[in-house]
Structure 1
Amino acid sequence: MRSWIKNFFLLCLLAWSALAGATNYSLWVNGRTGGGVVGNYASFNYFGPATVAAGVNKISANWDGRSSIASQSGVLRNALDCFCTGANWCYIATHSAGDLLVGYTLAQYGGSTRSVTAAVANGAGVCAAAPGGAQQTGWNIKWVRSAAGSAGGSELADAGAWAISEPLVQDQRVATARAMYNHNDTHNVWFYMYAGARGTLYSFLLPGQDDEVIAYHSAGGVAGSAGGAYCNPSDWFCNDLTVGPGPNQGGRPKWAFHDVVLRDDGERYRHYTGGNWDGITAPMRRDMELFAQ
């Protein structure tokens, strides 16, 4: 009996030790143009002041915001390996093209073998393997929140509204972005979508409701090989983007594991962060502060 009690308390002690060593992180992934220093996980220039609360142990997973998604995926994988392996877990927040980068990386590498790291990065943002050489499959990700997600592309890229020589712009063409990877393959990680609707004068290039850069079909995770016009319920001239994970008005589904948590019915939120956690990132930041703990 005494031996059983001793073993029970030993198991409890081991479990407590494992929990004590676990850390949650909030990874913020920028969109086009970048702004933060790549490899510097404390550089929040793209989003706003680093002093603002934005989830537990916030990390700025910076990439250059101009090169191709395939070439920048390695930069994101470095951050995921650093903070989302072993006993550590991550919450992820993305803006604009950051959604395309995260979706691509999960679909292409979410089932790959990763080395567990010590979560201490060098100047290039790379963490050394933890003692013992432990490995795991994929990363420990609780969920992804995506503001103005462009995994479905943007008609502004199709129309040449941005510098057409930039590799990321080529990736942001609607047909290209939608064919880049299997958007339904998130390795069971949920994407919670925030779709802004405060458009501008050139919104005629974007179908349905938009935030001046990204239309609802992309920001809302609407499935398919092409975009489409989706709107708020107050607009009678196109189908509604529905809140939640279910099909949209007209029957077209969202990608698997995609859930619209904010549809901008009041047309309040524009695309850009303004370097001050502004636009559609504002409500996402509030939710990260509340739920990413």
Structure 2
Amino acid sequence: MLRICRGVFVLFALSVGVFASATNYTLWINGRTGGGQIGNYDSFTYWGPASTAAGVNKKAVNWDGRSRIADQNHLVREALDCFCTGDNWCYIAAHSAGDLMMGYTLANYGGSTRTKKTPTPNSAGVCSASGAGTQVGWNIKWVSVASGAAGGSELSDVGSWTTSEPLVQDLKTTTARALYNHNATRNIWFYMYAGAAGTVYSGILPGQDDEAVAYHSTGGVSGSSGAGFCNPSDWWCNDLTLGTAANEGGRTKWSYHSVKFRDDNESYNHYANGNWGGIISVVRSDMVNNAR
């Protein structure tokens, strides 16, 4: 009897050890202009003070914010392999072109075989294999998107941003929408947060906007090109609806995309301003409350 009890105890201890090793992380994927040190998951220069709460075990997934999405995508995959494989799970927060980057990652690599890794990156941001084998895709709970640019921006279309920057080519509305299958999220939800504190010079952008990206993109609206969508108070424009419902006028959202926040009071612009500002502040608050 004593031998059996000891065996049960050992099995229990092993199961507790496995359970205890599971960790949740919150990964923040920057947009255009970059700023954080590539390979350093504790470098939050793009967002604001690193001491600011932003979800459980927060990590900054830094890429240069100017190169083509395909050319920098390996950095995102390295981060996902590090922190979102094996027993570990991730919450993802993305801003602006970070939405395009994350959507591209899942559509093209979310069904690939990944080596399970230990979340202890080297100076280049690469983690070593844990010895626990492989898995398909990554362990991701959801993706929260501040001012998503997966639908592109008209500022890129008209050359308001420097056309010598490779990323600007990817951010053209028709290019961004054709870059990958936006419906192929591997059943992972993208929760969209759309800001509306636009300015006069952002009149290039159709409908409501946050100075850089319009509601057709920040709201995850489907289609091969952009269109004007607004808040319900605007009588001259079709409404961007909350949740997954089709928008006024019948235009649908991409699969597994849901508008969680629409800036009805036109209070939030596009920019972090060095202090987790603008529409990013709304996503940060949500991560603090729900990414645990």
Counterpart of 1:208 in structure 2 is 207
Aligned-partner Cα distance in 2 for 1:266–1:37: 35
- The alignment status of 1:89 with 2:89, answered yes or no, reads yes
Alpha-carbon distance, 1:6 to partner:
7.3
CA deviation string 1:263-288 (max 9, x = no partner): 00000000010010000000110000
Alpha-carbon distance, 1:15 to partner:
3.2
Q: Which one-letter code corresponds to 2:86 in the other structure? A: G
Counterpart of 1:17 in structure 2 is 17
- Assess, with a 3 A threshold, how the Cα gap between structure 1 residues 8 and 250 changes in structure 2: closer, same or farther: farther
Aligned-partner Cα distance in 2 for 1:265–1:7: 61
Alpha-carbon distance, 1:10 to partner:
5.6
Task: Identify the range of structure 1 (243-252 vs 94-103) with the bigger mean alpha-carbon deviation.
Answer: 243-252
- Assess, with a 3 A threshold, how the Cα gap between structure 1 residues 11 and 68 changes in structure 2: closer, same or farther: same
- Assess, with a 3 A threshold, how the Cα gap between structure 1 residues 7 and 227 changes in structure 2: closer, same or farther: farther
Aligned-partner Cα distance in 2 for 1:209–1:245: 19
| Equivalent pairs, count | 292
Q: Which one-letter code corresponds to 2:261 in the other structure? A: L
Aligned-partner Cα distance in 2 for 1:292–1:162: 34
Q: Which one-letter code corresponds to 1:113 in the other structure? A: T
Counterpart of 1:251 in structure 2 is 250
Q: Which one-letter code corresponds to 1:285 in the other structure? A: R
Q: Which one-letter code corresponds to 2:189 in the other structure? A: W
- Using the size of structure 1 for normalisation, the TM-score is 0.96
Aligned-partner Cα distance in 1 for 2:174–2:282: 29
Aligned-partner Cα distance in 2 for 1:6–1:259: 51
Aligned-partner Cα distance in 2 for 1:5–1:259: 51
Q: Which one-letter code corresponds to 2:201 in the other structure? A: Y
Q: 1:65-80 maps to which residues of 2 (within 5 A)?
A: 65-80=65-80
Counterpart of 1:281 in structure 2 is 280
Counterpart of 2:184 in structure 1 is 185
Q: Which one-letter code corresponds to 1:238 in the other structure? A: C
CA deviation string 1:98-120 (max 9, x = no partner): 00000000100000011111111
Aligned-partner Cα distance in 2 for 1:4–1:226: 67
Q: Which one-letter code corresponds to 2:73 in the other structure? A: S
Moved over 6 A (4+): 1-8
Alpha-carbon distance, 1:12 to partner:
4.3
Aligned-partner Cα distance in 2 for 1:280–1:150: 13
Aligned-partner Cα distance in 2 for 1:118–1:84: 10
Q: Secondary structure at the match of 1:76?
A: helix
Q: Secondary structure at the match of 1:169?
A: helix
- Assess, with a 3 A threshold, how the Cα gap between structure 1 residues 4 and 229 changes in structure 2: closer, same or farther: farther
Q: Secondary structure at the match of 1:131?
A: strand
Stretches of structure 2 that go unaligned for 5 or more consecutive residues are none
Counterpart of 2:117 in structure 1 is 117
Q: Which one-letter code corresponds to 2:290 in the other structure? A: F
Task: Identify the range of structure 1 (1-10 vs 121-130) with the bigger mean alpha-carbon deviation.
Answer: 1-10
Alpha-carbon distance, 1:201 to partner:
1.7
- Assess, with a 3 A threshold, how the Cα gap between structure 1 residues 224 and 6 changes in structure 2: closer, same or farther: farther
Task: Identify the range of structure 1 (82-91 vs 246-255) with the bigger mean alpha-carbon deviation.
Answer: 246-255
Alpha-carbon distance, 1:130 to partner:
1.1
Aligned-partner Cα distance in 1 for 2:158–2:44: 30
Aligned-partner Cα distance in 1 for 2:45–2:120: 21
Alpha-carbon distance, 1:246 to partner:
1.4
Alpha-carbon distance, 1:166 to partner:
0.8
Q: Secondary structure at the match of 2:59?
A: strand
CA deviation string 1:217-271 (max 9, x = no partner): 0000001111110000000011100010111111111000101010000000000
Q: 1:1-293 maps to which residues of 2 (within 5 A)?
A: 12-132=12-132, 134-293=133-292
Q: Which one-letter code corresponds to 1:146 in the other structure? A: V
Stretches of structure 1 that go unaligned for 5 or more consecutive residues are none
Q: Secondary structure at the match of 1:135?
A: strand
Q: Which one-letter code corresponds to 1:250 in the other structure? A: G
Q: Which one-letter code corresponds to 1:187 in the other structure? A: R
Alpha-carbon distance, 1:142 to partner:
0.4
Alpha-carbon distance, 1:203 to partner:
1.8
Q: Secondary structure at the match of 1:265?
A: coil
- Assess, with a 3 A threshold, how the Cα gap between structure 1 residues 12 and 250 changes in structure 2: closer, same or farther: farther
Q: Which one-letter code corresponds to 2:240 in the other structure? A: L
CA deviation string 1:185-226 (max 9, x = no partner): 000110000000000121210000000000000000001111
- Assess, with a 3 A threshold, how the Cα gap between structure 1 residues 5 and 244 changes in structure 2: closer, same or farther: farther
